[in-house]
Amino acid sequence: MKTILRTAAIMLMATAVAMPAIAGDKIRTITILSRPQAGQQAEFQSVQLIAQEWRKLGLDVEVKAQPWEQMSEEVWYKRDKWDATAWQMVGRPERSDPDEIVFNLFHSSTAEKGYNFVGYNNPEYDALVEAQRSEIDPEKRKALIFKAQEVLAKDQPNMMLVHPKSTFAYNKEVWKPESIVNQSGIGIRNTWTFLGMEPAGAKKDIVINSSDNVKAVNPLYISGGVDSWVTELIYDRLLRVGPDGLPKAWAAESFTWKDDKTVDVKLRAGLKWHDGQPVTAEDVKFSFEAAVGGEAPMYKPFASNIKSIETAGDTITFQLNTPSASFVTSSLAKINLIPKHVWEPILKDLAAKPENAESYQEQTPIGSGPYKFVSWAKNEEIVLAANKEHFNAPKAERWILRIVPNAEAALGMLKSGEINFVGEFSGDPQVLVDAAKADPKLEVVSTVDMGFRYIGFNMRRPPFNDPAFRKALSEAVDRQLIVKAAYRGFAVPSNSVVSPALEFWHDKSVVESFKAGQAIAAKALADAGYTLEGGKLHYPGDIKETLGE
């Protein structure tokens, strides 16, 4: 009798867990934004696979493909109007230090206008990433970065997918292989390659492709990965991150820490803007003050710790509010130097308008970098010419970017010689590898990227404001499926914003401990009170759907 009663009690409890007394409203149709398959095949296929797995949980999911310009406009400037979006953080050199990722991507202060476009707000996390900024001891700082990765893994503001293996190809009959630089976490498509590429014959123009259009050539606007290829060549920075991932003097002849909050930078002699005027310490001060003052919101986080900037001759002294271990990499090697005589009147004019510096496009961008702007035919190509007066003048004559939306067309152009460097290949990288095996003039190089691909959840819109819901959606998708099906093996699975390419900072335990599967996700939703009614997922309890279909 006792056994029968005990069995009945267990069955009753199981029923109570599986069938909550109250079901909330049905969750509306969820929309995921993605770039089109023709331009970003791996991204589009990833989103299709994710939508398929989410539908198994009882969600109605719509995939909305948009050109990059339209998609970025919607995500960046209409922050409460979308549900989830495919997105990427590209492997820029200054991201060799994790501060830019762990702070700017998720700190609550950057949610309104900055990188935190998903609207993540966690005071515990804010305190962690503030603390790591001022921790000079590498091991103590590493512990804080690890803890930040653990908090993000628990909260899942982003559904991390993969760190791609950046795969590039070039024509080794045009460029000497020994002059190609494979930068740590970046690959061979980098500034050091574009400066050092040595012609193997008569052809002296670097002709490179991109599937995405260039949105802007603006030194005060981080408008996209491809745009950054251009701005990094036109504009100098005080420091640059070297191929080994460490900061090195560039437009600065040297930099010296006077104490843990003061750094002196000596400007390199003889620098000139592309219009012939000299680069001065006042130009440097102006460049950083533009970011400090908020005229360039996307750059402000990289300058927010600057208390004051003083100049004396060719020396610029930065006084910080708090000690910052990452300042030389995330600020001095990040902020573009701009000519005061060009930008001061522009910023004064914009001060009386609702627009900021991000909206302004110079007719002829003026920098001091190793390449000069020549022309821009929108949706077609950008042409830069080598600045032969630069202290590190390129060996190439010109750098030409051609917009080629189709991966197959890009490969065809490489084979025919219309391009000689594949800077982006949105198709199956194995196709590039096979092409190189069949054609001895082609060389292919793959490198695990410090950048990453992910799905951003808009936490301004229910149900994405619920961490249990976000975590369940993330758990529904096996990352190995994404690696194999969408990236054809040319990626590594991710659950951390810090790439394994950054070995010192990467907490591999948050990746190794992550478990995925439909059963795991369904249980997580049930535990959080979500219910299935007629095969459709409903909110817990008496929660109402406020956003409609």
Whether the predicted pLDDT of 179 surpasses 50: yes
Contact residues for 124 (Cβ-Cβ < 8 A; gap 6+)? 151
Summarised one tens digit per residue, pLDDT across range 86-119 is 999 988 888 889 998 999 999 999 999 889 999 9
Summarised one tens digit per residue, pLDDT across range 216-272 is 999 999 888 899 999 999 999 999 999 888 899 999 999 999 998 999 999 999 999
Summarised one tens digit per residue, pLDDT across range 356-379 is 999 999 999 999 999 999 999 999
pLDDT value of residue 89: 93
Summarised one tens digit per residue, pLDDT across range 317-334 is 999 999 998 899 989 999
Alpha helices in 56-122 (DSSP H): 68-77, 99
Whether the predicted pLDDT of 182 surpasses 80: yes
Whether the predicted pLDDT of 447 surpasses 50: yes
Per-residue DSSP letter, 198:
-
Mean pLDDT, rounded, for 519-528:
97
The pLDDT confidence band at residue 549, using thresholds 50, 70 and 90, is: low
Whether the predicted pLDDT of 184 surpasses 90: no
Of the candidates 29, 90, 78, 114, the one whose C-alpha atom is nearest the C-alpha of residue 458 is 78
The pLDDT confidence band at residue 53, using thresholds 50, 70 and 90, is: very high
Mean pLDDT, rounded, for 16-32:
76
> Reduced to 3 states, what is the DSSP secondary structure of residue 65?
strand
Summarised one tens digit per residue, pLDDT across range 286-305 is 999 998 887 888 899 889 89
- Across the strands, what pairs with 308? 319
Taking the alpha carbons at both ends of the chain, their separation in whole angstroms is 52
Q: What is the reported pTM?
A: 0.76
Mean pLDDT: which of 348-352, 452-456, 542-546 is highest? Answer: 452-456
User: Rounded to whole angstroms, what are the CA distances from 377 to 174, 181, 214, 374, 542?
Assistant: 25, 29, 10, 10, 55
Domains with residue ranges and CATH for the chain:
26-164+450-534 (3.40.190.10), 165-235+367-447 (3.40.190.10), 247-348 (3.90.76.10)
Which is it for strands 158-171 and 421-422: parallel, antiparallel or unpaired?
antiparallel
Q: What is the dihedral of CA 47, 52, 58, 64, to 10 degrees?
A: 40
Contact residues for 95 (Cβ-Cβ < 8 A; gap 6+)? 89, 101, 185, 450, 451
Instruction: Tell me the DSSP string of 206-221.
Output: EEEEESSPP----TT-
Residue 312: Cβ-neighbour burial (10 angstroms; 0-12, 13-18, 19+): exposed
Instruction: Report the share of the chain in percent with pLDDT over 90.
Output: 82
Whether the predicted pLDDT of 2 surpasses 60: no
pLDDT value of residue 19: 45
